[in-house]
Chain A
């Protein structure tokens, strides 16, 4: 590394052709500085977003989910997507995408892929799924289980994508260019250079795109993809994955790489509103429904937790019994959602408390075993006791041992050898090198009377 005279003092530099006005560049997770520049006005507005600058506010609410080993996938989840109303979830892992009906808690479709899905989006009705697969963006028709459209241009680095509610538009960033593609016309409608996105969401009317880039939320009108410069909201810093509501006012993220908690920001007040705890290992994906009422988080162990952000509360786990060890117990139940009147299926770990007017009849919760059912000789297959007035039904979770090989968890652990003092080696008889001259022997050996040690290994013997 040849050293030159360092010259980092202020001096004029060559203007790039693409930069027409002064811009402050948000730091992206990739640290490649290719993200869209902010105008100084936006940057100035965002100075209010700096930590420690705002007034004292209420602390965020922490929601804790029970410890769950009920898994949705055998391995870590690479991407999640929710429909705008939060009723359908897509989760990707191990070159599979599972589509979940969150009303019943059941998997409706499983797509087999030839590569891992990196980013995904669903249409409002949950009938179409877009995903980045390798160098391609594909859209599936889930009813048929077939690929409906493939964006012909190969992509390189896609940070996020979004489908319009009707599936007629797909927005995605690639190599820091924001693209708006029409699957029906199979052509690129618009693009914006220098726009790096880590989350995208399209409004319910399909006329506005919200984009989260590091620390800022920006808006674009559709389909002309014009930046609406009058509106900026505070974003969050780097996150391993980020979700965004279509109005841009709520942001969900696993804050930093390898964090086990997810947070939900209010982008208007610039405050963390919710802290979601419950994952036992590092988060790998988050999804926030465009209506801001439902959220999903997924971790390295393949566990997916579902959150109701209205109350807010932990809601359920997405559970696939073929992916879960048979020793792991859980409870399935249905309950009526008071807001919508719909019966919703829930899966929770056995440690979770049960709603009022219901009793668990599985034997996984100490003290809640239904003795009367056992007395009636149905202990081998207990059924839920459903009171007449109760809107709640329960049945024990049937868990079959999956035919899966145990994959040892990666742990970097090195056994430390215990220190044991080494036995003293016998000293070989001293052999004179030259008669009456110098003697050599191992360091540590006693020095004979009348002799002098010329090394310095033994303090005091020099």
Chain B
């Protein structure tokens, strides 16, 4: 039916079906469209007639002639796209004074590596080290919140614009302190990011005391050593591989983060296969190198070539029973947040000030004023928070971003990284980045994967994720 023909209005029909799902249409080849209803966790591939039938329903018109036997209506009803009641939006919001129960400690900006693409430019400036007192204050704060909120666990993450293990004394003693002061019944969960250049003693302690490690490793030794250099200018892969083998021997839970520069894109499939064949990480994350810090003026890796290499790498990984993932493509998750920045993330710089962003680890960072929202309270053992700054961060959740409203991936990526959008768009309103294209393409792959696994006709997983969403409003 063409758009000019008369369409019976909903008023004419006795009980016209109602579109009850936020539905997106992703054009594909040859007049085919992926119809995706993220909040119903449903998707299928259809021709233009089906799309137009749905579009008419959205406009309040029921084209009965397009579905003479009612089977299309029934099919869409089966997938909860019509007549299924209102959808529950996966939105969590935050207000008032933050009450975190997890703390991130940026232990140091010192680093024993000089990675060419380091977002933190670690080593370019005099290093800072967090004191034990700063760490203790943060731990005390989240512990008090856990007790007040009756949450039986606190989290400590060691991170920073350097290698956290270089502030070894504070790392080990702060965790020991947390476990000593934690009340009975409160568990202390700790993890760290690391470049993997560790001594055997450090490995022993980590596998004994931490719940997990996110370890930076770029795969093939030749790829890794090209960019991840020691302060002496030599490759670091031998040390990292030693650490990985030790982790595997201990059956330790760790993830590998692979950073891909433009020149390394062709090596990505081989690098992933190397990792999958040699090691046993619980997670493998692949990200194009960020054009910030030491890599600010380098060629972008956020390209079509990256997407192609990622797809090949995913195939290789699956042959080994692994799955790689990219931070913004996550069909399995429904959320309005990309990360903790919009969820009152509580991270302490070496000087003890509060940042919401892992990439803004120092008060000297370019966008520090956007992300530092608190400082130690001289009058108490707590913190003073700058609520206007914090509320501005909370407003970066995806439901507030006008650019994202027409994007099918919005409830999966949650609006992507605010810090990276600032580096691309400046302080102006978010207008999309090259990462958005990568996110959409890889999200589309995941949708098709789900259709495939579900039998090839449609994907529909009701009653799973929405029930697991925690709607938190304070």
Chain A residues with CB under 8 Å of chain B are 1, 3-16, 18-28, 31-34, 37-41, 43-44, 46-47, 49-51, 214-216, 234-238, 258, 412-414, 416-417, 419-420, 442-444, 454-457, 459, 462
Q: How many Å lie between the Cα of A1 and that of B23 in the bound state?
A: 26
Task: Indicate whether A1 sits within 8 Å of B126 (C-beta atoms), given known contacts A8-B407, A19-B31, A24-B45.
Answer: no
Q: How many Å lie between the Cα of A20 and that of B460 in the bound state?
A: 26
Whether A5 lies near B232 (C-beta < 8 A) is no
Query: Looking at chain A's contact residues, is the secondary structure mostly helix, strand, loop, or mixed?
Result: loop
Whether A7 lies near B23 (C-beta < 8 A) is no
Whether A215 lies near B406 (C-beta < 8 A) is no
Q: How many Å lie between the Cα of A6 and that of B412 in the bound state?
A: 15
B202 in the interface, Cβ–Cβ < 8 Å? no
Q: How many Å lie between the Cα of A238 and that of B453 in the bound state?
A: 9
Task: Indicate whether A412 sits within 8 Å of B277 (C-beta atoms), given known contacts A3-B432, A15-B48.
Answer: yes
Which residues, 36 to 86 on B, are CB-close (under 8 Å) to A? 44-56, 58, 66-67, 69, 71-72, 74-75, 78
B403 in the interface, Cβ–Cβ < 8 Å? yes
Whether A10 lies near B23 (C-beta < 8 A) is yes
Whether B45 lies near A44 (C-beta < 8 A) is no
Whether B50 lies near A1 (C-beta < 8 A) is no
- Determine, out of B143-151, B234-242, B376-384, the stretch whose residues face the partner at the interface: B234-242
Partner among B55, B403, B434, B437 whose Cβ is within 8 Å of the Cβ of A10: B55
Partner among B74, B303, B456 whose Cβ is within 8 Å of the Cβ of A215: B456
B404 in the interface, Cβ–Cβ < 8 Å? yes
Whether B460 lies near A457 (C-beta < 8 A) is no
- The chain B residue with its CB closest to the CB of A16 is B31
Whether A19 lies near B47 (C-beta < 8 A) is yes
Whether B71 lies near A455 (C-beta < 8 A) is no
Whether B406 lies near A13 (C-beta < 8 A) is no
Whether B456 lies near A459 (C-beta < 8 A) is no
Q: Which range contains the number of B residues in contact with the other chain? A: 35 or more
Chain A to chain B contacts (Cβ below 8 Å), 24 pairs: A3-B436, A5-B432, A6-B436, A9-B23, A9-B24, A10-B19, A10-B23, A10-B55, A13-B27, A19-B49, A22-B53, A22-B66, A24-B46, A25-B44, A25-B45, A33-B28, A41-B69, A47-B458, A51-B453, A235-B456, A416-B221, A417-B241, A419-B239, A442-B232
Whether B454 lies near A24 (C-beta < 8 A) is no
Q: Which residues of A contact B465 (CB under 8 A)?
A: none
Q: How many Å lie between the Cα of A235 and that of B452 in the bound state?
A: 12
Whether B455 lies near A22 (C-beta < 8 A) is no
- Determine, out of B106-114, B179-187, B253-261, the stretch whose residues face the partner at the interface: B106-114
B473 in the interface, Cβ–Cβ < 8 Å? no
Most buried by A among B54, B448, B458: B458
Partner among A12, A20, A28 whose Cβ is within 8 Å of the Cβ of B56: A12
Whether B66 lies near A8 (C-beta < 8 A) is no
Interface string of B10-31 (1 = CB under 8 A from A): 0000000001000111111111
Number of interchain pairs (Cβ within 8 Å)? 221
Whether B452 lies near A237 (C-beta < 8 A) is yes
Whether B453 lies near A237 (C-beta < 8 A) is yes
Whether B126 lies near A456 (C-beta < 8 A) is yes
Chain A's nearest CB lies how many Å from the CB of B277? 7
Whether A8 lies near B29 (C-beta < 8 A) is no
Whether B31 lies near A38 (C-beta < 8 A) is no
Chain B's nearest CB lies how many Å from the CB of A164? 28
Partner among A5, A13, A27 whose Cβ is within 8 Å of the Cβ of B25: A13
Interface string of B202-226 (1 = CB under 8 A from A): 0000000000000000001100000
The 6 closest A-B pairs by CB, nearest first: A456-B127, A215-B456, A3-B432, A40-B72, A33-B32, A419-B242
Chain B's nearest CB lies how many Å from the CB of A219? 18
Partner among B23, B47, B71, B452 whose Cβ is within 8 Å of the Cβ of A27: B452
Q: How many Å lie between the Cα of A444 and that of B230 in the bound state?
A: 11
Q: Which residues of A contact B50 (CB under 8 A)?
A: 22-24, 40
Partner among B24, B46, B48, B231 whose Cβ is within 8 Å of the Cβ of A443: B231
Q: How many Å lie between the Cα of A267 and that of B187 in the bound state?
A: 52
Task: Indicate whether A51 sits within 8 Å of B455 (C-beta atoms), given known contacts A3-B434, A11-B25, A417-B221.
Answer: yes
Q: Which residues of B contact A44 (CB under 8 A)?
A: 71, 74-75, 78
Q: How many Å lie between the Cα of A417 and that of B238 in the bound state?
A: 7
Chain A's nearest CB lies how many Å from the CB of B265? 14
Chain A's nearest CB lies how many Å from the CB of B155? 25
Whether B75 lies near A24 (C-beta < 8 A) is yes
Whether B52 lies near A15 (C-beta < 8 A) is yes
Whether A456 lies near B110 (C-beta < 8 A) is yes
Partner among B44, B112, B448 whose Cβ is within 8 Å of the Cβ of A24: B44
Q: How many Å lie between the Cα of A253 and that of B338 in the bound state?
A: 40
Whether B431 lies near A38 (C-beta < 8 A) is no
Chain A's nearest CB lies how many Å from the CB of B193? 17
Chain B's nearest CB lies how many Å from the CB of A241? 16
New A-B contacts (10) at CB < 8 Å, excluding given A238-B452, A462-B127: A3-B437, A22-B66, A22-B67, A23-B47, A49-B455, A417-B241, A419-B239, A456-B125, A459-B108, A459-B167
Interface string of B430-456 (1 = CB under 8 A from A): 011110110010000000100111111
Q: Which residues of A contact B45 (CB under 8 A)?
A: 24-27, 33
Q: How many Å lie between the Cα of A21 and that of B49 in the bound state?
A: 6
Q: How many Å lie between the Cα of A455 and that of B124 in the bound state?
A: 8
Whether B23 lies near A5 (C-beta < 8 A) is no
Chain A's nearest CB lies how many Å from the CB of B432? 3
Q: Which residues of B contact A413 (CB under 8 A)?
A: 277
- The chain A residue with its CB closest to the CB of B306 is A1
Partner among B24, B31, B67 whose Cβ is within 8 Å of the Cβ of A40: B67
Q: How many Å lie between the Cα of A457 and that of B124 in the bound state?
A: 10
Partner among B53, B239, B403 whose Cβ is within 8 Å of the Cβ of A5: B403
Q: Which residues of A contact B51 (CB under 8 A)?
A: 10, 12-13
Q: How many Å lie between the Cα of A25 and that of B123 in the bound state?
A: 55
Partner among B30, B32, B123 whose Cβ is within 8 Å of the Cβ of A457: B123
Q: Which residues of B contact A15 (CB under 8 A)?
A: 1-2, 48-49, 52
Partner among A3, A18, A39 whose Cβ is within 8 Å of the Cβ of B71: A39
Partner among A8, A14, A38 whose Cβ is within 8 Å of the Cβ of B457: A38
Whether A26 lies near B456 (C-beta < 8 A) is yes
Q: How many Å lie between the Cα of A12 and that of B241 in the bound state?
A: 54
B251 in the interface, Cβ–Cβ < 8 Å? no
Q: How many Å lie between the Cα of A50 and that of B42 in the bound state?
A: 12
Q: Which residues of B contact A31 (CB under 8 A)?
A: 448
Q: Which residues of B contact A6 (CB under 8 A)?
A: 403-404, 406-408, 432, 436, 440
Whether A23 lies near B46 (C-beta < 8 A) is yes
Whether A8 lies near B408 (C-beta < 8 A) is yes
Q: How many Å lie between the Cα of A237 and that of B454 in the bound state?
A: 8
Task: Indicate whether A41 sits within 8 Å of B71 (C-beta atoms), given known contacts A3-B433, A6-B404, A237-B452.
Answer: yes
Q: Which residues of B contact A237 (CB under 8 A)?
A: 452-453, 455-456
Partner among B111, B302, B457 whose Cβ is within 8 Å of the Cβ of A216: B457
Q: How many Å lie between the Cα of A232 and that of B33 in the bound state?
A: 23
Q: How many Å lie between the Cα of A39 and that of B108 in the bound state?
A: 62
B327 in the interface, Cβ–Cβ < 8 Å? no
Q: Which residues of B contact A412 (CB under 8 A)?
A: 270, 273-274, 277
Chain A's nearest CB lies how many Å from the CB of B69? 6
Partner among A10, A23, A50, A420 whose Cβ is within 8 Å of the Cβ of B49: A23
Most buried by A among B56, B111, B406: B406
B386 in the interface, Cβ–Cβ < 8 Å? no
Whether B278 lies near A22 (C-beta < 8 A) is no
Q: Which residues of A contact B303 (CB under 8 A)?
A: 1
Partner among B23, B31, B110, B273 whose Cβ is within 8 Å of the Cβ of A459: B110
Q: Which residues of A contact B32 (CB under 8 A)?
A: 25, 33-34
Q: How many Å lie between the Cα of A44 and that of B406 in the bound state?
A: 29
Q: How many Å lie between the Cα of A41 and that of B72 in the bound state?
A: 7
Q: Which residues of B contact A38 (CB under 8 A)?
A: 457
B468 in the interface, Cβ–Cβ < 8 Å? no
Q: Which residues of B contact A11 (CB under 8 A)?
A: 25, 55
Most buried by A among B78, B241, B456: B456
Q: Which residues of B contact A238 (CB under 8 A)?
A: 452, 456
